Amino acid sequence: MFSDSFLVFGAGAWGTALAIQLSRSKQKVVLTSFDKNNLLEIKQYQENKKYLPGFPLPKEIGVQPYNTALVEQAESIIICVKSPYFLAAISLFNEAMRNKNLFWATKGFDPETGELFSVVVEKALGEKTPYAVISGPTFAEELAEGRPTAITLATNNINNPNALAKQMSNRSLRVYLSDDPVGVQLGGGLKNIVAIAAGASDGLGLGANARAALVTRGLDEIKLLGKELGGNEKTFMGLSGMGDLILSCTDDKSRNRLLGLSIGKGLSFEEAIKLQNDIPEGAHAIKTLVEKSVVSDKQPIMFAVYQLLYKGLDVKKVAEELMLRPIKGEF
């Protein structure tokens, strides 16, 4: 094994920003991805002009096309790809893993099965694979810039996670530990759906009162559903739950919130994703979760997002129906 500590797979904005931060933490880092052309451009300009322009990569970060030798030389692998590509990414590592630590920062669910990525990993690489989930309220630009950021590292089968958290932390990145990878994954995946709803509310111009109520009730939906699916209730009040929800629902750097804003202003789903040139994770998540009967009208805010995106319901009518539901206790 060579001295490279982390192999970051996925050279989008988030993967690049995380590589920059790990380098600041004095770790040896190699950045790779499926996109060979982008890797060549990053290496040429020492900057990810396609996904994270304006943030030069430290010269210590290696940028290389993927090959199995990179996995063999790394101590830990971090996956930073969008949910539709997660299985394809981990499938590359099958023979080379050899009990290396596998991390992922992908937020969402398997688009075919609706399963958590921990289940996907156990099926593809074996139940004994040591893995951890990285999640929390983070925007790539602020992470790359070195603004103060806190994230959660969740694992229940990696040896000495405290040492790993210390390795990754620095003056601008603080890593907290959790032993609830299920809850951390659910918080990171479900909050994206609520962020679309918050954007739609603001796009309609419903005001700050409406946004605060929607975010609060959305958190309740996340907490109740997350607990039902095996997460710890406390987790949803932490960085990967409430923290990430607040960030995604209130800041226009959130792609999920931007999608909702477009819907609230009258654009169709197709027009909105064309405008963004992207399908945000929340849109993938709600489609899969409703189709797999994980989310239903028992989660009225999240189900309303499905109706807006995939049934074409009028956004004003959906907002009105949410307000006119039968009265019940808050808790």
* Average pLDDT estimate for 227-250: 98
Residue 281 banded pLDDT, cuts 50, 70, 90: very high
* Domain 6-179 identical in fold to domain 193-323: no
Where do the domains of the chain lie?
6-179, 193-323
* Average pLDDT estimate for 182-197: 98
| Residue 285 near residue 190 (C-beta atoms within 8 A) | yes
Residue 99 banded pLDDT, cuts 50, 70, 90: confident
Q: What's residue 318's pLDDT?
A: 97
Residue % of the chain over a pLDDT of 90: 94
Cα–Cα dist 70/63, whole Å: 11
Q: What's residue 96's pLDDT?
A: 81
The CATH number of the structural domain formed by 193-323 is 1.10.1040.10
Residue 95 banded pLDDT, cuts 50, 70, 90: confident
| Residue 277 near residue 258 (C-beta atoms within 8 A) | no
Evaluate whether the domain defined by 6-179 bears CATH number 3.30.420.280.
no
10 Å Cβ neighbour count for 303?
20
Where in the sequence numbering do the catalytic residues fall? 191
| Residue 152 near residue 232 (C-beta atoms within 8 A) | no
What residues does 133 pair with on adjacent strands?
104, 154
Residue 4 banded pLDDT, cuts 50, 70, 90: very low
- Amino acid letter, 36: K
